[in-house]
Amino acid sequence: MDFYLPTKLFSNIDSFSIALEKLGEKFLIITGKSSAHNGSLDELTKILNKYQKKYEIFNETIENPPKELLELILKRHGKDWDVIIGLGGGSPMDTAKAIAILCKNNISVEELYELEKYNTASKIVCIPTTAGTGSEVTQYSVLTINGIKKGFKHEKIFPTISLLEPKYSLTLPKDLTISTGLDALSHAVESALSLKSNNFSELFAFKAIEIIKDTLPKLINNLENYELRKRMLLASTYAGISISVTGTTIAHSLGYSLTTDKGIRHGLATAVFLPFEIENAKTKNAEKIVSILGNMLDFLKKLNVEITFSVSEQEINKWSEIVANSSHVKVTPGNYDLQKIKEAYHWLIDKSGIYGR
Residue pLDDT tens, the chain, 357 long: 678 999 999 999 999 999 999 999 999 999 999 999 999 999 999 999 999 999 999 999 999 999 999 999 999 999 999 999 999 999 999 999 999 999 999 999 999 999 999 999 999 999 999 999 999 999 999 999 988 899 999 999 999 999 999 999 999 999 999 999 999 999 999 999 999 999 999 999 999 999 999 999 999 999 999 999 999 999 999 999 999 999 999 999 999 999 999 999 999 999 999 999 999 999 999 999 999 999 999 999 999 999 999 999 999 999 999 999 999 999 999 999 999 999 999 999 999 999 986
Residues 186, 189, 191, 192, Cα dihedral to 10°:
180
The rounded distance, in Å, linking the Cα atoms of 125 and 136 is 8
**What type of residue sits at position 345?**
Y
The pLDDT of residue 283 = 98
Taking only the tens place, the pLDDT of each residue in 263-318 is 999 999 999 999 999 999 999 999 999 999 999 999 999 999 999 999 999 999 99
Helix (H) or strand (E) holding 163: strand 161-163
The pLDDT of residue 55 = 98
The rounded distance, in Å, linking the Cα atoms of 11 and 96 is 21
Helices 284-293 and 174-193, interaxial angle, to 10°? Answer: 150
The pLDDT of residue 357 = 67
The rounded distance, in Å, linking the Cα atoms of 30 and 308 is 32
Rg, the chain, Cα only: 19
Looking at the DSSP bridge assignments, the partners of residue 141 are 152
The rounded distance, in Å, linking the Cα atoms of 189 and 197 is 11
Domains and CATH numbers, the chain: 8-168 (3.40.50.1970), 172-356 (1.20.1090.10)
Residue 294 φ/ψ region, left for φ over 0, alpha for ψ in the -120 to 50 degree band, beta for the rest: left
The closest of 247, 266, 249, 248 to 258, measured between CA atoms, is 266
- DSSP letter at 356 equals E
Contact 135, 94 (CB under 8 A): yes
Q: What share of the chain is helix, strand, coil (3-state, %, to 5)?
A: 55, 15, 30
